[in-house]
Structure 1
Amino acid sequence: MDYLYDQGKETGNIDIPQCVTNLRAQRVNMVQTASQYRFLYKLMLEMLVLPSQPVTTEQLNGENMELKEQYLDLSTEESLFPDDNTYKSATANENQSKNRSMDILAADNYRPYLSSHIPNTTDYINAVIMPSFKLPTRFIITQTPLEHSFVDFCRLICEKEIELIISFDDSMSEEEKCLPGKNETKSISGIRLTGVSCEPKDGPDFYTRSFDLNLKQKTHRFSQIVYTGWSQPMELPQSPRSFMDLLRHVQNVTRSEVPILVQCLNGADKSGLFVVIWTLLEHVEIHGEVSIPRVVRHLRLRRKQIIPTFDQFKFCADCIALDDANTYANF
């Protein structure tokens, strides 16, 4: 990497095959696998072709004409390199029906594996473990559960000891079939889920519900924050400030490093935006600046369908532009 980077900066050209050949003459088996060799190409693309320097929140204020070019660069990278992830479990016959779309699957390397034994279940759920800047397992993003995958959804909550779920109000009629209302109980396959409370006054665009989940004689309580400012017909949340209010509230009520479960209908577009903006804000907190394309590229390694449109990409910039020392000091 160091050799090729210096070569590229000095001459404007690089020769990866020749570089590997030359260095192998001095150190046998340097670059041992095809994956390592492909990774060199991706590194050089990132370092020499698609450089995206971090910017401060002040620089993101107003119209930023480079945003469109940066978003197109993301698509360029995806067209040059295939997805290296494997999806053997997601495409297995017994698991295919658990995916809302065969275009959005959980990669074997990044999915949570379910271990609790319940008849007629497998270890698969369409969910992906996602990092933030501070924590490698800050989030799990997942789709809204199907009726026949509801038991897996409950297993995930229990096994990962999920304390908080963020849900987007894009399919509430279907979601309400899975999650019971206050003082209601739903039982399936030995699992009992009871609605404990509903507190609709957290904010203008979100409210909180709490549940008791009983699995194998163990009772686990968790909360769900439902965001109502992004309904199904809307391409974007109601406003950057509304979305930042949600983020700030979640940050304030999160007290542990247990993964936060973020769910939307397909487990990618809305939940992905939440994870991206949270991570961007952590970069700003630590360094005072951030590169939106680098963060998106990093998180797309695990779920490539996040930030599916330029409007979402620009929405990220609009949210970060709101971030100032007084209003969002907690981040």
Structure 2
Amino acid sequence: MGTFTCPPLQPFTDYTVTISVPPSTVLFSWMIRTKETVPQKPEQLQLDASTGTLRWKALPSCRGEITGYQLNITARASQDGGFLQIERLRLSSQTTEHPLPTYGPGTTYVVAVRGLTAAGPGAAAQFHTNGSETPDGCSRLVLNTSLSQGTAVLPLHPISWRPEAASEHQLLVAVTHNSTVLEDACSGELQPSNHSHPADPYVAAVLNLSAPTDFVLGDGTRGHGFHNAPLHPGWDYTALLRLARRSAQAETFTCVCYSFSMGQESIPLLQRLPVLMAFVLAAVVLVLGIFLLPLFIRQKCNRSNASEINSSIPLQKCRRGASNLNTLILVEELLDALKRLQRAEIEAEQMEDESVDRHEAGRLGEYQKLASSLCHSCSAGKELCNEGKNRYKSIIPYDHCRVVLQPSDTGNDYINASYVDSYRSPHFFIAAQGPLPGTVVDFWQMVWQEKTSVIVMLTGLVEHNRIKCEQYWPEQQQVYGDFTVTLNNTRTTMGIITRVFCLQKAGYALPRTVEQFHYMQWPDHEVPRNPAQLLCLVEMVNKSGSESPAGPVLVHCSAGIGRTGTFIALDFLLKMAKTEGKVDVFHCVQRLREQRVCMVQTKEQYAFLYEVLLEGLLCGCTAVPVERVVSHISCLQGAEIQSQNSILEKEFKAVQKFSELFQLLPCREAEKPSNQPKNRKPGILPADSFRPILMSSLNSDGSPGYINAVFANVRLQPSGAWGCRE
């Protein structure tokens, strides 16, 4: 086998390769095309003075197919107090001209034009115009500032020269008057102030500015995740009031600049001495920390509960599961079946001989029969190069149903995510772990590759002081590898945060819309605090998916098994009930565990599936957003009396039927002879699990006192109120 290296070839060119032997026998002949490369710099940039239109010569496709042009327009003006505007546009490949924005005399423009191919943007051609009054960098607005104790009072005015201007402004702070730094700050994605890097540009505040107002910069307040940090004496500052507008093809940043100095304060040596000593002490602590930190980390890593990353979630004792259980239930018999299961559980709990290793009954007995061991091979997740991509070392995807990433520059195709079926819908879901800092790019690559348009997030970023998921979305816009993610909209309805993202991949003309439903009222390893919200979430996800059908729905929590598995199982069972009039919780969960280990992680989550399924089939999603309450009531009142009563009566009967489950709960304390006189009605007794214990009022035998009252949940806060008999 021989090799031959060709001389340098032209990009994006067809070549015919022929191998022959003398005199003229052709052994092989085939055609190849070399890869595309970035285009050359555009030529012949000209400005039509009469129309203010910039034109350039169309680029040839000799280096690759021209997919469009990218324009960056920077305008600096001195009128109206001065402003800086940066506009970035993406134009089609057929467009070779664009009108410059007009701001009148005193405006200076810098325009950069570059071509785009699948290989990326090419070199930029620049065009400069000079206004009659060339400003020095960003035009400085002369202010009557009041400087004291690290603050400056800025008289802010809404940016009003753009008709599409919104009311929400950002106030940026840069420790400089340099025009280049200010341009980068005006169009950049800045972070909150960082006390470790106080000289870096930062966002001080987000303001709903609709009228002139005086703003105190540096007062130390916090809001919207930003810190209005105190200003430093002797530093020169430029504050930029920014308004941003983004779309799929363009983004515009408009800034008004406020430049000022905090002045210089001399500090006597005796006053500086404590500060100097503090710095020396801090340096000593830092040096000691450098030597002691590795030892501390090694000790911490040896503790079982020290770190979530790459730690192990303890699984139940390994079981292969049972397949011969008859757990199929008709929908109309679900309430009675659940009552039977609950009675069996209560009887098992009331066994007096606690030393006997009793067998779990009811739903808990079913849960014990589920497979909990690894059912299939998962060699990819165990590879050494992939261990760092697993949040928990015991939770890895099966090889046969893992999501395989398309080849990338790293050559690694692994992500901790699995294809999971819904009812009669193969690969309807992707169940994934919450992204790690090093897997955010992989996460967005999977979203793009699988054409996912809906993401369901069932965890907080931090829970119980442990990081459960890396924030993989921006506050406004951010680039993750080849992907640019822009947050277009955020709204909260019925406890569910909905975020709408614009996802753009480099080299692709058309962006995609991705909708994220973030539900945070679900503690780890537990059940949702409000089951009705979860039912509404399932309905919202299916409605969104049906309106814009695309790839699999991506569901994740932290490990991607407990809350994720419960959500997917609920969706499966609701669809099964609607289609067949039957449900089978056990075999549904068993099937999910064939596709991802330990789906529906705890026995509480398994038991909850029965209850939320019953609530969904009896009541459906009855939650009404606050903004629609009036219209909902009007709709009921506008119906005929008979119809109106039937709707309300149906809901009330559903509540009564569902409450039969709670009537089975033991009320042993209320039934004691000594407490029966304290009950107004013998049939209305507080369950032991919901009853407040009166430690301030003890019985004669020293036991806590009794009152006929129960805790009740209010506005998602457990045990936030209590009700009692009259």
- TM-score category, normalised to shorter length: 0.7 to 0.9
Unaligned runs of 5+ in 1: 1-41
Listed as ranges, the matches of 1:52-201 within 5 Å are: 52-60=327-335, 63-65=339-341, 68-76=361-369, 78=371, 83-117=374-408, 119-171=409-461, 175=469, 177-181=471-475, 184-200=476-492
Deviations 1:43-101 (A, max 9, x none): 9x523xx222323254236634267445434433537xx53311111111111100001
Equivalent-residue separation in structure 2 for 1:253 and 1:196 (angstroms) = 17
Equivalent-residue separation in structure 2 for 1:275 and 1:269 (angstroms) = 10
Equivalent-residue separation in structure 2 for 1:313 and 1:174 (angstroms) = 22
Q: 2:566 aligns with which of 258, 273, 280?
A: 273
Question: The residue matched to 1:124 in structure 2 has which SS?
Answer: coil
Q: 2:519 aligns with which of 216, 223, 227?
A: 227
Question: The residue matched to 1:178 in structure 2 has which SS?
Answer: coil
Sequence identity, in percent?
Answer: 22
Opposite residue 220 of structure 1, the aligned amino acid is R
Equivalent-residue separation in structure 2 for 1:291 and 1:226 (angstroms) = 28
Structure 1 residue 250 and structure 2 residue 541: aligned? yes
User: How far is 1:175 from its partner?
Assistant: 4.8
Structure 1 residue 312 and structure 2 residue 605: aligned? yes
| C-alpha contact 1:151 1:188 (8 A) present in aligned 2 | yes
TM-score, normalised on structure 1?
0.76
User: How far is 1:135 from its partner?
Assistant: 0.5
Question: The residue matched to 1:78 in structure 2 has which SS?
Answer: coil
User: How far is 1:246 from its partner?
Assistant: 1.2
State the structure with more CA Rg. 2
Q: Which structure carries more helix by proportion? A: 1
Opposite residue 274 of structure 1, the aligned amino acid is F
User: How far is 1:266 from its partner?
Assistant: 0.9
User: How far is 1:112 from its partner?
Assistant: 1.2
User: How far is 1:140 from its partner?
Assistant: 0.2
Equivalent-residue separation in structure 2 for 1:78 and 1:252 (angstroms) = 32
Range that drifts further, 294-303 or 191-200:
191-200
Opposite residue 241 of structure 1, the aligned amino acid is A
| C-alpha contact 1:115 1:123 (8 A) present in aligned 2 | yes
Question: The residue matched to 2:445 in structure 1 has which SS?
Answer: helix
Equivalent-residue separation in structure 2 for 1:127 and 1:211 (angstroms) = 21
Q: How large is the RMSD of aligned CA atoms in angstroms?
A: 2.5
Equivalent-residue separation in structure 2 for 1:58 and 1:88 (angstroms) = 43
Range that drifts further, 92-101 or 213-222:
213-222
- Matched with 1:23 is none
| C-alpha contact 1:60 1:317 (8 A) present in aligned 2 | no
User: How far is 1:293 from its partner?
Assistant: 0.5
Structure 1 residue 214 and structure 2 residue 490: aligned? no
Question: The residue matched to 2:425 in structure 1 has which SS?
Answer: coil
TM-score, normalised on structure 2?
0.36
Q: Which structure carries more strand by proportion? A: 2
| C-alpha contact 2:431 2:555 (8 A) present in aligned 1 | yes
- Greater relative contact order (Cα < 8 A, sep 6+): 1
Question: The residue matched to 2:538 in structure 1 has which SS?
Answer: helix
Opposite residue 323 of structure 2, the aligned amino acid is E
